[in-house]
Amino acid sequence: MTTNHQPCLEELWEQLPAGSPPVEALLASARLRVRRRRLLASMCTVAVLAVGIGTALTFAGRPDSSVGPSNSGLAALDVQQGHRLVGIAQAAIQVPQAWSFNAASCNVPIRDTSFFPWDQGCQRDTVDGVSSVAITADRPEVRQPYSDGASAGGEPVIETDLTCNGPAPTCTQVFGIPPLNAYFSVSIQGDGAQQTVQDMRKSLTVIPSAYTTVPFVPGGSLAAVRDALQKSGLQVNVEHSSCPSTGNCQPGVVSTDPPAGTVLPTASAVSVQVLDG
Amino acid sequence: MVDRDADFSAYVAARWTSLVRMAVFLGCSIEEAQDLTQTALMRCYVAWKRVQRAENPDSYVYRVLINCHRDVWPRRSSHEVPGKTPVPEVPLSEQAPDGGDLAATTDAIHRALAELSSEARAVVVLRHLLQLSEQETADALAVPVGTVKSRLSRALSRLADSEHLLEMRGDLP
């Protein structure tokens, strides 16, 4: 670089303010992430044990049993490798494990994610090349008509046609289980998009009563979040942390661990992270 | 755990500014840069023992930031319209007192570096602005030292011809 340009780039560097480091809040979130990893690891152990015990109980005293995989509860948890279940109420689908939870801004997914749209009062442009599943309790209003689809777990399913547009392409479909108030709006971009949508549709399942999903409570108070979690059959642990004095944060419920949409054994513990003002 | 927290907190306080600035120079807005830095630091916290044991912890953390930028921010191209937004997992830091100057500065940075690839920008930031050694820069980018030298040389040549930097120079006292 010539001498003429060096001061300019360095001055731009020095002029740029970075804001105060949110040390305490960052530490709180980082600790939460570590606990989440440990909780998921222990949940996997619990789930494996529960399935194992459930299998043993199912076949106990049935020497001539040929039930096998017709036990829809166990079959529903047969998650494909590299995928995880995500859902609402007692319905779930499988998404790639690498997808984020609720990585959306102003109801626009910003990376591959499952998310729960809610009225946030803001707008933004869409982000290209992102795949997502929007999960709602209400039936989405779409241009295409709904038709009856193959049932899931004995429950009726409605769905739109799978459509693909553009060179990328982008393939979309909406489907749901009306009696369970569970709807999934799938949008997949890139190679294999059509197959991916079909796979997600096929993975639609009714979660057995031994399991539940972490509910989404948009902008809710701690009391509302606690109530929703308990109604879902989950135990609640509340963790408080403080907004740093130099930070710009909004007190209230920040997140749950595991995040909303996660499928868990009933009576599992969920941590609610609360920022105090 | 207590030692890790204290060590991590001290590191964040010391390196926050350089990490956010680096993210801006990689192409983020200031808000995205703060968000990206938080994401990178949280990843580092989970693997903090590895950071502490690294030959150069700074290189390790810069590499995590660069990887986060590559993995998480490949397609972001829009900005929110201000309004009611969800509570962030980690709160944003204070904005600059003068939002207009901040926007002009970040815009100038992005225009000046627009012709450089993200790899070239990373080399300019690490080697030229953060003054890391060639080896430390190579470690952060996971490339050979020779690649660092050639990328930096080409990047500086392109910057030397940059009209945007010429314009900026004209505005500075």
Cβ contact A8–B169 (<8 Å): yes
Cβ contact B165–A8 (<8 Å): yes
3-state secondary structure of A145: coil
Tokens describing residue A12: 């731009």
- CA separation for the pair A130, A109 (Å, rounded): 7
Q: Give me the mean pLDDT over the A187-211 stretch.
A: 92
Q: Give me the mean pLDDT over the A89-96 stretch.
A: 93
The torsion defined by the Cα of B36, B42, B46 and B47, in degrees rounded to 10, comes to 50
State the pLDDT at residue A1: 40
State the pLDDT at residue B72: 66
- A62-76, A237-251, B68-82: least confident range: A62-76
> Measured between alpha carbons, how far is residue B117 from residues A72, B23, B101 in Å?
52, 14, 26
Task: State the pLDDT confidence band at A64, using cuts at 50, 70 and 90.
Answer: very low
Cβ contacts (< 8 Å) between A26 and chain B: which residues?
12, 38, 41-42, 90
State the pLDDT at residue A126: 78
Q: What is the ipTM of this complex?
A: 0.73
Cβ contact B33–A15 (<8 Å): no
Interface test with B, best of A11, A13, A100 (most B CBs within 10 A): A13
Tokens describing residue A241: 């942390």
Cβ contact A121–B83 (<8 Å): yes
- What does the longest C-alpha to C-alpha distance in chain B come to? 52
Q: Give me the mean pLDDT over the A152-172 stretch.
A: 89
Task: Output b/e per residue, A35-70; b: 16+ Cβ within 10 A.
Answer: ebeebeeebeeebeebbeebeeeeeeeeeeeeeeee
Q: Give me the mean pLDDT over the A229-239 stretch.
A: 88
Helix (H) or strand (E) holding A205: strand A205-206
Cβ contact A9–B86 (<8 Å): no
Q: Give me the mean pLDDT over the A247-269 stretch.
A: 78
Asked if the model's pLDDT at residue B170 lies above 70, the reply is no
For B8, nearest residue in chain A (alpha carbons): A27
Instruction: Report residue A5: phi and psi, to 5°.
Output: -95, -20
- A80-89, A215-224, B71-80, B152-161: least confident range: B71-80
- CA separation for the pair A132, A111 (Å, rounded): 8
Is pLDDT larger for residue A56 or for residue B171? Answer: A56
Cβ contact B46–A248 (<8 Å): no
- pLDDT tens for A209-232 read 888 999 988 777 888 888 899 989
- Amino acid A271 reads S
Cβ contacts (< 8 Å) between B108 and chain A: which residues?
12
Cβ contacts (< 8 Å) between A219 and chain B: which residues?
86-87
- CA separation for the pair B31, B37 (Å, rounded): 10
State the pLDDT at residue A273: 81
How far off is chain A from B54, nearest CA to CA, in Å? 20
> Is residue A223 within 8 Å of A258, Cβ to Cβ?
no
Cβ contacts (< 8 Å) between B12 and chain A: which residues?
21, 23, 26-27
Q: Please spell the DSSP secondary structure of B78-141, one letter per residue.
A: --BPSS--PPPSS-B-PPPS-HHHHHHHHHHHHHHHTTS-HHHHHHIIIIIIS---HHHHHHHH
How far off is chain A from B46, nearest CA to CA, in Å? 6
How far off is chain B from A99, nearest CA to CA, in Å? 11
Report which DSSP code applies to B55: S
Cβ contacts (< 8 Å) between A110 and chain B: which residues?
76
Averaged pLDDT of chain A: 80
> Is residue A263 within 8 Å of A92, Cβ to Cβ?
yes
Q: Give me the mean pLDDT over the A124-128 stretch.
A: 76
Is pLDDT larger for residue A78 or for residue A161? Answer: A161
Cβ contact B112–A110 (<8 Å): no
State the pLDDT at residue A70: 29
Helix (H) or strand (E) holding B167: helix B163-171
Instruction: Report residue A91: phi and psi, to 5°.
Output: -125, 145
Q: Give the sign of the dihedral formed by CA B90, CA B61, CA B28, CA B167.
A: positive
Asked if the model's pLDDT at residue A71 lies above 50, the reply is no
Global confidence as pTM: 0.48
Asked if the model's pLDDT at residue B2 lies above 80, the reply is no
Cβ contacts (< 8 Å) between B106 and chain A: which residues?
16
The torsion defined by the Cα of A226, A228, A232 and A238, in degrees rounded to 10, comes to -20
- Amino acid B84 reads K
> Measured between alpha carbons, how far is residue A20 from residues A23, A247, B68, B92 in Å?
9, 7, 21, 9
For B31, nearest residue in chain A (alpha carbons): A18
State the pLDDT at residue A55: 58
- A80-94, A136-150, A180-194, A210-224: least confident range: A210-224
- Amino acid A204 reads L
Tokens describing residue A273: 């992270």
